[in-house]
Amino acid sequence: MSRPHQRRTPEEDLCTRRTARSTSSSTATCTTGTRARRTGWPATRTTPRAGSSASTPTRDSGPPETHWSIEHFQKYSEDDLMKDVFEDGYVDVAVFQPTYLKEWYTEGFNTTERNGALSEKHPGKFVVNTRWDPREGDAGLRELEENVKRWGSTGVKLYTAEWREGSRGWTLKDPEAYRFLEKSQELGIKNIHIHKGPTIWPLDKDAFDVSDVDHAATDFPDLNFIVEHVGLPRIEDFCFMATQEPNVYAGLSVVIGGLMHARPRFFAKVMGELLFWVGEDKMTFGSDYGIWEPKWQIEGFVDWDYPSDEFSDYPRVTTDTKKKILGLNAAKLYGIEVPAELQLGAGAGTPAAQESAVGVSDVGAVV
Amino acid sequence: MIDRGQVLEALGTVRDPELDESVTVLGFVSSCTVTGDEVDVRLRLPTYFCAPNFAYLMVADAFDAVNRVEGVRRTTVVLEDHFASDAINGGVAARAGFVASFDGEAVDELEGLRRDFLRKAVLAGTDLVCRPLVAAGRTPEELAVMTLGDVGLSREVDRLRSRRRDLGLPADDTSALLVDVVTGEAVGVEALPLHLRKARVTGVSVGANSSICRGLLQERYGAGSRLASVGGGAEEEL
């Protein structure tokens, strides 16, 4: 299926693309595909069936020419990453999310240390986030502190559905989690990325409920909660919650990679709903690199608009909207300096303002 | 001899609670075999890891629906190809309940979950019924005083009424068209625009889930693998 391309002047086009280049994009936010239903999202090229070439949402979530072989997917190199993300992928600064999953990967899938080591080889390219797990108790608190000191982390990535020694997960509502949130704040962490949506096999049944984010966001108003994958496909709970919490953001990882190409109409609806309930100042792009490359996602989103008039009662998407989503909002969250010429023009609005929780104010537009 | 058509009709009343669609229409019934007064039903889901709570509800509901068919003496419902098949099949057969079937992994039975998703179904159904009215120029003031009887007859309205009845919400001709899905009270004109927005995003979510599940089921079992007799009346081997 093809999407109509938005018409822009060459200058606008260049500016938007450079905006994407100039700021940040999260990478490695999601690690492996799965087929879990309801909470799950089919990631591309993770479990190919030999000999099958049927067109499905599972394998064709990205354009065919961007598909990797399973061998490449299972082991891609540092050079691949640097080329795909920074040379070809328009990214200037990447927010690097760690993923431990030590029940399945003895040494972790990608740990803070490994990401940090890569970052030291390529100064200025990565924001090294860390993670914590409340079930690790005092030792976990110490490790968090060490990681923050060693790598200068200002963000964490959390997986409430991670298995650990017989436990199938945890919630942000747990008193132990509150200890870690307090410690995070004390250590200067600003951004809490929390994985809600696509599941990584095998995860527990209720672990993607977003109500725990609601509690924590209310009790920690100075922390930002970026809900990665926005609870897809069950987005309504997230939308209602985000509307009420000024410090909750929509992390678009998987939203763009998983839907824009494969399910353009659903993508348009999801974007329309997020723009309505959450607002363009609180949406951030994420590439999910290793599952998808950022290049086609960014190019596609720069060119994107609603596919038909059927979507006319959703908020409009402007070049400024895209600049904010592709970089300026994340740059603000992480204090990344954006060259003056790539910022929004005068009077175009301030990205990532907490008071911009929308949804209710312009709701009269519906009827 | 049991009428297999009646058994399939009974299975047709069993819905996926989240997708709000019949398991027969969704293709989740892979076989239904009648032998004398015994019925054997096989269910399947789009993935090996489909949420076990929803799976449990469907297996239990299928068991109850088939068991209610006149003359059925023995019912077997088996969920196949699922990571929790044993726990679910055993639990339903023993009528053990969800918590006992997932010892140590679940704290609640599933009626709360069922109600939550019925509420979503009412909201999504409200969107289907009301969006055309809004498109036709109905104002919030008009919608706020409309009753279910005012909107005429359609499949969407029937369905909305049915879901409202299931939830214990008012559903007759004189009931308000727009009601709070928890209290059942009419939605006032001021709250109405936001109510409709909530209905729409819920509809988007249900539609998305449904489309994903259908796609995955087709990927898993193939396009032509739906139970032929559903809607067609052909017999399966006994």
Contacts of B83 (CB under 8 A, 6+ apart): A202, B48, B49, B52
Tally C-beta pairs within 8 A across A and B. Answer: 111
Cα–Cα distance, B163 to B170 (Å, whole number): 10
Between chains, do A37 and B83 touch, taking CB under 8 Å as contact? no
Torsion of CA A171, A174, A180, A181, to 10 degrees: 80
Across chain B, mean pLDDT equals 90
User: What pLDDT was estimated at residue A279?
Assistant: 97
Position B196, amino acid: L
DSSP helix/strand/coil, A294 = helix
Which residue on chain B is closest to A273 by alpha carbon? B201
pLDDT of residue A308: 93
Instruction: Please write the tens of the pLDDT for every residue from B173-209.
Output: 999 999 999 999 999 999 999 999 999 999 999 988 8
Nearest Cβ partner of A276 from B48, B197, B219? B197
Report the alpha-carbon distance of residue A111 to residue B53 in Å, rounded: 33
Q: Are the C-beta atoms of residues A248 and A213 closer than 8 Å to each other? A: yes
Query: Which of B49, B143, B219 is opposite residue A36, by nearest beta carbon?
Result: B49
Using CA coordinates, name the residue in chain A closest to B199. Answer: A236
Bridging pattern class, strands B29-35 and B38-43: antiparallel
Please name the residue that has the structure tokens 């077997």: B76
Q: What tokens does B238 get?
A: 């006994």
> CA–CA separation, B41 vs B118, rounded Å?
25
Give the bridge partners for B21, in sequence order.
Answer: B16
Minimum Cα–Cα distance from A314: chain B residue: B197
Range in A2-6, B15-19, B128-132 the model is least confident about? A2-6
- Averaged pLDDT, B104-110: 76
Q: What chain A residue is nearest to B134 in terms of C-alpha separation? A: A367
Q: Is residue A250 within 8 Å of A283, Cβ to Cβ?
A: yes
Answer yes or no: do A363 and B194 touch at CB < 8 A: yes
Q: Inform me whether the C-beta atom of residue B213 falls under 8 Å from chain A C-beta atoms.
A: yes
How large is the C-alpha radius of gyration of chain B? 20
> Does the distance separating the beta carbons of A58 and B50 come in below 8 Å?
no
Collect all residues with Cβ–Cβ distance below 8 Å to A79 and sequence separation of at least 6: none
Which chain B residue is nearest to residue A41, measuring alpha carbons? B212
pLDDT at A53: 35
Nearest to A333, CA basis, from A318, A346, A321, A351: A351
Q: Of B134, B198, B209, which is closest to A234 when you measure between CB atoms?
A: B209
Six-digit token string for B127: 């969107």
Q: In this predicted model, what pLDDT tens digit does every residue of B200-233 receive, in sequence order?
A: 999 999 988 888 888 889 989 986 555 544 433 3
Output the pLDDT for position A351. Answer: 53
Residue with tokens 């639990």: B91
Residue B4 sits at the chain A interface (C-beta within 8 Å): no
Q: What is the pLDDT of residue A201?
A: 39
Chain position carrying tokens 């691949």? A80
CB B186 within 8 A of CB B178: yes
Asked if A344 and A328 count as a contact pair (C-beta separation under 8 A), the reply is: yes
Q: What is the pLDDT of residue A251?
A: 96
- Type of residue found at B152: G
Q: Mean pLDDT across the stretch B101-128?
A: 88
And the tokens for B227? 């139970």
Nearby residues of B229 by Cβ (< 8 Å), 6 or more positions away: B4, B8, B32, B235, B236
* Yes or no, beta carbons of A366 and B196 under 8 Å apart: yes
Taking CA–CA distances from B51, the nearest residue in chain A reads A205
> Going by C-beta distance under 8 Å and a sequence separation of 6 or more, which residues neighbour residue B1?
B34, B36, B37
Q: Give the closest-approach CA distance of B216 to chain A in angstroms.
A: 8
d(CA B130, CA B121) in angstroms, rounded, equals 14
Q: Which of A144, A209, A142, A138 is nearest to A170 (CA)?
A: A209
Nearest C-alpha in A relative to B49: A36
Whole-number Å distance between alpha carbons of B187 and A332: 40
End-to-end CA distance of chain A: 31
pLDDT on residue A347: 52
Say yes or no for a CB contact (<8 Å) between A56 and B209. Answer: no
Q: Residues in chain A with pLDDT < 70?
A: 1-60, 197-208, 346-367
Write the single-letter amino acid at B65: A
Which of A38, A254, A275 should we substitute to test contact with B (largest number of B Cβ atoms within 10 Å)?
A: A38
Cβ–Cβ of A204/B105 closer than 8 Å?
Answer: yes
Residues in chain A: 367
**SS3 for A94?**
strand
What is the number of other CB atoms lying within 10 angstroms of the CB of residue A179?
16
Task: Report how far residue A227's alpha carbon sits from residue A160's, in angstroms, rounded to the nearest whole number.
Answer: 12
Q: Which residues does chain A have within 8 Å of residue B195's beta carbon, measured at their own beta carbons?
A: none
pLDDT band at B147 (very low <50, low <70, confident <90, very high): very high
Query: Taking the complete model, does pTM exceed 0.90, yes or no?
Result: no
Nearest to B65 by CA among B80, B55, B77, B53: B77
How far apart, in whole angstroms, are the C-alpha atoms of residue A203 and residue B204?
A: 25
Interface of B with A in 129-148 (CB under 8 A): 134, 138-140, 143
Residues B26-69: pLDDT tens digits? 999 999 999 999 999 999 999 888 888 889 999 999 999 999 99
Question: Is B95 at the interface with chain A, CB within 8 A?
Answer: no
Nearest to A277 among B46, B201, B207 (CB): B201
Residue B165 confidence (pLDDT): 97
Torsion of CA B129, B130, B136, B141, to 10 degrees: 140
* Chain A partners within 8 Å of B105 (Cβ): 168, 204-205
Q: Do A205 and B18 touch (CB under 8 A)?
A: no
